[in-house]
Amino acid sequence: MNDKLARLDYYTLLGVDAGASTADIKRAFRGFARRYHPDNHTDDPARHRRATAIFRRGTEAYRVLLDRELRTIYDAELAKGEK
């Protein structure tokens, strides 16, 4: 994963506000998945690798932001500047 992708917080990556609801996160992820799913980028190996990296990071963001406990931990770490 490149540095720019690693520096994006989960909210920015999915394009939602920190106060986003579960429905907002799900809706944002559907759009994110349509854009970055690796199956949509099979024509070029380099684009496929890049889309795979972005999609994995987005999937991780989705999983964390939908889990109340993980999101609370993530938000605390984000506030401390640890993420």
pLDDT tens digit sequence for 37-75: 999 999 999 999 999 999 999 999 999 999 999 999 999
CA distances from 68 to 40, 53, 56, 72, 75 (A): 31, 25, 20, 6, 10
pLDDT for position 74: 97
Query: In this predicted structure, what is the pLDDT of residue 1?
Result: 53
Residues 6+ apart with CB under 8 A from 78: 9
What's the predicted TM-score (pTM) here? 0.88
DSSP one-letter code for 16: -
Q: Which residues neighbour 53 within 8 Å (Cβ) at sequence distance 6 or greater?
A: 1, 2, 5
